[in-house]
Amino acid sequence: MNTASAAWRTLAILVVAVILPMTTWFSATAVLPQLTEYWALSSDMRTWMTNGVQLGFVVGALSLSLVSLPDIAPLRLLMAIAAALAGVANLGLLVAPSPEWAVGCRILTGVALAGVYPPALKLVATWFQRGRGLAMGALIGGLTFGSAVPHLLRALSQGVSWSYVVVGSSVLTFIGAIIFLLRAREGPYPFSRAVFDPRQIGRVLRNRGVALANLGYFGHMWELYAMWGWFLAFAGAGFGGGMLSASQLSLLVFAVIATGVLGCLLGGVLADRIGRTATTALMMITSGACALLIGLVFTGPFWLFVVVALIWGISVIGDSAQFSAMTTEVGDSDLVGTALAFQLGIGFALTMVSLTLVPIIADAVGWRWAFLVLVPGPLLGTAAMLVLRVLPESARIAQGRR
């Protein structure tokens, strides 16, 4: 088998393997109404059922970056062990004696997933020099679909215990761990190996191109997970009073998040053709506009609400992979895994702030305008991309297609 065929075949395997453990990310969010009733959750505890995974991921990703583990350990073993641990932590929801213990399980799930997502991005990059944007877009598309699956499981299991969603997502995660262990391997364009030295994070922080790619990613992340995490509550407030059943709302949210797969693929194609900075700026301008417009169609007409929501679902994630791709291109070769883990760790730390702010604003002014707080993120990210575009470092992006 030639290198190109092997690369695309490996990518397909990795996409499937990433989809499966990422189903644990929103497994609690998808059944939050049932968990709220089961544990009589307060507003703060409902927020932490989603934020707990974010916090765990931040701790895990920053810890990985500090010890440079993604640049030292065999990626196949790291991802397989991490996925298995995520499945076990997710199952902890079934035996948690209190909401506090459940949040602890969510945090541990996030810590484990930090050993899946950043290493997977690095592994894909070892298979592609040309077409890296599309390849990494496909991988993030897998993450996106995996994040949407719990909503589909919830829609298909109305009237059935929430525990089936939790068990189903954990079983899928264990299968993903097996695939990583047996089928994941590095490609013909490996990055240099690092040695353990906590001071190396300073090299990542001082790299101007990586810093701007990070800033773009941070603006993108300010918007992304708050939109994903609270869209069910947002849509329910607008159309859940009789127009849509709980099952239909879950299907709607699944569709909005899952259409992001198209955005990831579109973003990859555009980035490899017109450039990464141009593509990311275009996506963030579009998603920011949707964050502005979604409140205007909050009460209908329903078809227009769905159109804006689907465009938002496509654009809000369509640029994500390209920030990581840029980091692999402008960063130091021996610290690519460390740089990616740092980028993701800080990015997910920001999501905790926006995830917390959205329901606070909703309580104050109503859900209709709650998403306006997300608009500054894509604006800042767009500015960072336009600055990076004119710097000399941009010549290394996408083989000159900046």
Residue 260 C-alpha from the chain's centroid: 11
Can you say how many angstroms the Cα of residue 112 is from the centroid of all Cα atoms in its chain? Answer: 14
Give me 94's structure tokens. Answer: 């079934």
Predicted confidence at residue 298, as pLDDT, reads 92
For residue 1, the model assigns a pLDDT of 56
Cα separation, 30 vs 153, whole angstroms: 8
Tell whether the model's pLDDT for residue 196 goes beyond 60.
Answer: no
The kind and range of the H/E element at 62 are helix 43-67
Which band of pLDDT confidence, cut at 50, 70 and 90, is reported for residue 82? very high
Q: What is the DSSP string of 35-50?
A: HHHHHT--HHHHHHHH
C-alpha angle 323/329/335, rounded to 5°?
A: 95
Q: How far apart are CA 183 and CA 192, in angstroms?
A: 22
**Residue 51: per-residue pLDDT:** 84
Q: What is the mean pLDDT of the chain?
A: 88
CB contact burial 197-209 (16+ within 10 A = b; e otherwise): eeebbebbeebeb
The domain spans of the chain are: 3-400
Say what the pTM is: 0.82
Token pair 């690095």 in the structure block, residue = 122
Overall fold of domain 3-400: Growth Hormone; Chain: A; (1.20.1250)
What's phi and psi for 275, nearest 5 deg? 115, 150
- pLDDT at position 182 is 94
What's the rounded Cα separation, in Å, for the pair 263 and 338?
Answer: 26
The gap from C-alpha 196 to its chain's centroid, in whole angstroms, comes to: 27
Select, from the ranges 26-35, 71-80, 242-251, 262-271, the one with the highest average predicted confidence (pLDDT).
262-271
- What is the mean pLDDT of the segment spanning 220-233? 93
Q: For 271-305, what is each residue's pLDDT tens digit?
A: 988 999 999 999 999 999 999 999 999 988 999 99
- For 124-182, what is each residue's pLDDT tens digit? 888 987 888 888 889 888 888 888 888 887 788 776 788 988 999 999 999 999 999 99
Per DSSP, the residues of 163-232 read HHHHHHHHHHHHHHHHHHHHH----SSPPPPP---GGGHHHHHH-HHHHHHHHHHHHHHHHHHHHHHHHH
CA-to-CA distance for 382 and 148, rounded, in angstroms? 26
Instruction: Measure CA of the first residue to CA of the last residue in the chain; give whole Å.
Output: 32
d(CA 40, CA 31): 13
